[in-house]
Amino acid sequence: MKTECYRFKVGTFECIAINDGDIAYENPAPLLFFNAPKDRLAQVLRGHDVELDRWNEWLTPYTCLLVKTESQYVLVDTGMGSAFPPAVGHLIQHLQALAVRPDEINIVLLTHAHGDHTGGNTDPEGRAVFSQARHIMWKAEWDFWTSETVLVQPQHEWMAPVVQQNLLPLYDRFELIEQDTEVVPGIQAIGAPGHTPGHMVVRVSSGGEHLWFMSDAFLHPVHFEQPDWYAEVDIQPEQAVSTRRRLLERVAAEQPRILAFHFPFPGLGHVRQQKERWRWQPMATVD
């Protein structure tokens, strides 16, 4: 049976990567590497055992993170919810299998507003799934997606039902932050705009060990090698590239574990610098 939950520790914190499900995206090359020169992209992808001309589908998990500190449960992102059953929307059943009730979650950190990260916020009736939790999002993210002038733009219209279903019903539960913030001891929300205007990453630290939940700052392992190749879905491409480079500089000295939302489950690994390039090393290959 395929493993959908992966337990590991960061210092004294118990962490569990949880797969909300898998979705296949068609025509992945322009989706992920919109500005990449085709010849160079084909060469780089071959290093990942992918033939560009035959790459018709990108199957990606949606990996959420549950952290149990000494006193609280912190959930990072809530998956897709009930939007596309049965492929996704498995977070709650996995929490139940882990003997964690939704009303035991103390904090929900939402890295950005896209539906695959916020779809599990509410049930089909618009009620809060994590009824006792503080919901934390970057203020710029909330302000952008709740703006009527944004949602009427053709490229953003698809987000209107996400906002109506998964954000606005919980308005009074949200805490909107505007600067890097330690939400509980050892768990820090860090601004990482570009993919969306208020995208953030999460740093987990305990006992001298560190984990960075990168969310969608890096959508594919190639983005570590080629940080200047932005995705079609990066709303602010130049900012996304700048953010990637800044994040790589920040993790260079620390050498933390990294969890990437869309990487092959459980999305855990390290990045290693090789000359002037970075390269993703999934957990199984890390000494």
Domains detected in the chain? 5-285 (3.60.15.10)
Residue 285: pLDDT band (50, 70, 90) is very low
Q: Which of 34-43, 48-57, 170-179, 248-257 has the lowest average pLDDT?
A: 248-257
Residue 277 is predicted with a pLDDT of: 85
Is residue 85 a contact partner of residue 172, using CB atoms and an 8 Å limit? no
Query: Over the stretch 33-81, which tens digit does the pLDDT of each residue have?
Result: 999 999 999 999 999 999 999 999 999 999 999 999 999 999 999 999 9
Residues 6+ apart with CB under 8 A from 238: 194
As a whole number of Å, the CA-based R_g of the chain is: 18
Residue 2 is predicted with a pLDDT of: 59
For 178-217, b/e burial (b = at least 16 CB within 10 A) is eeeeebbebbbbbbbbbbbbbbbbbbbbbeeebbbbbbbb
Three-class secondary structure of residue 92 per DSSP:
helix
What is the spatial distance between Cα 137 and Cα 176, in angstroms, rounded to a whole number?
5
Query: What percent of the chain stands above pLDDT 90?
Result: 92
Q: Is the pLDDT of residue 154 over 70?
A: yes
Instruction: Pick the closest to residue 15 from 250, 272, 258 (CA basis).
Output: 258
- Where do we find the tokens 């290093």? 47
Average pLDDT, the chain: 95
What is the spatial distance between Cα 30 and Cα 47, in angstroms, rounded to a whole number?
18
Q: What is the mean pLDDT of residues 251-266?
A: 94
- Where do we find the tokens 């990045």? 271
CA 226, distance to chain mean position in Å, is 19
Query: What percent of the chain stands above pLDDT 70?
Result: 98
Query: Over the stretch 193-207, which tens digit does the pLDDT of each residue have?
Result: 999 999 999 999 999
Q: What is the mean pLDDT of residues 266-282?
A: 90
For residue 203, the surrounding DSSP H or E stretch is strand 200-206
